[in-house]
Each structure stands twice: as C-alpha cells, then as structure tokens.
Amino acid sequence: SRIDTAFTVIIHSLGSAMATFTAQNYGANKLDRIRKGLFHTSIIAYIYCIAVAILFFVFGRHFASLFLKEASLSTIDLSYTYLMVNSSFYILLATLVISRATLQGMSNNFAPTLAGIIELIMRFFAAMFFSKVAGFTGLCFACPLAWLGSLFPLVIYLVIAFKDKFAQKTTPPP
C-alpha cells in the first residue's frame, strides 16, 4: 500500500541512522553510546508508531479514499482494515528495523540475514493459513506475524552481542 509505505519510511530512516551511528561508535568501542542510541531511537520510533496508528484509526478511510480514486466503499473498507491491522503492529516493525540496523552496524550480517529468511517464510505460511481461516483480514496479519517471527533471532543476537562486548570491555588486561 502506498499509504503504508509513505508512513513507514520514517521507521526505515531511523534504522538507517541507527546503522551509521552504531558503526561509528562500534569502531570507536563506545558501546554505552550504542545502547543509549538504541534506547532513544526506539523511544522516538515507538512514539511515532503510536501517533500513526491513532491517525490511521481516526482518518484511515480518508487516507484510503485519497489514493483510491473512484473506489467503492468496500474497497475503501478493505484498505482501512489493512491500515488498522498493520499500523497496530508498527512497533514490531520499528523494533525489527532498528534491531537489524544496529546489528549490521556492529558488523553482524548473519542475524539480519536469518531474520530476513524467517520473515519471508512466516509471511508465506501466514498468508496461506490465515487467508483460509479469516480471508482478507487474515492476510493482513501476514506482515505483523512475519515481523514478530523475525524479531526472535535479532533480539537474541543483540543481547548476545551486547553481553559479549561489555564482558570484553570490562575484563582487565592480563
């Protein structure tokens, strides 16, 4: 959806900024700054996600009608359903994008790649299963479920990365 893309570009921009910020501070071995940056970027993203979700709940049909010229009411209702479901889970998307970018900034490409594969597989199976169970509304849940599934390896690797790097940083030299 063009509406969805227009509003999630901010989330992806925060992820890009976090990747650069992380890479610079990782190279300088300033891990505390990375943790603070991750925290503050997440807070900004979450506030934005909540605001967009509220905006879509209140004005979603109006946004849909702007992009769907001469569309029937049922088409606008389907678009509204899609916006409501997806925007309700933008916090998951923001966590996914920011976590992935942080790991990439720390030169960890395995976890983001694994998360991408999991996201693709989950999206496929969620679409296949939920479309049979709940029709179009079920299809709308394919992306949020994929975001949730792909978060697991990212969060695990992020915790491990911070734990290992902080352990190395606090270990006294021989």
Give per-residue pLDDT as tens, 129-148: 998 999 999 999 999 999 99
User: Residue 105 half-sphere exposure, CB side, CA atoms within 13 Å?
Assistant: 30
Residue 89 CA: distances (Å) to CA of 4, 20, 31, 143, 150: 12, 25, 29, 9, 14
- pLDDT for the residue 26: 93
CA distance 142 to 126: 5
pLDDT at 162: 84
Residue 88: what pLDDT?
96
The C-alpha atoms of residue 33 and residue 10 are separated, in whole angstroms, by: 22
Residues of the chain predicted below pLDDT 50: none
- Cα 113 to its chain centre, rounded Å, is 15
Residues 82 and 1 sit within 8 Å (Cβ to Cβ): yes
The pLDDT of residue 67 is 79
For residues 2 and 67, the answer to whether their CB atoms sit within 8 Å is: yes
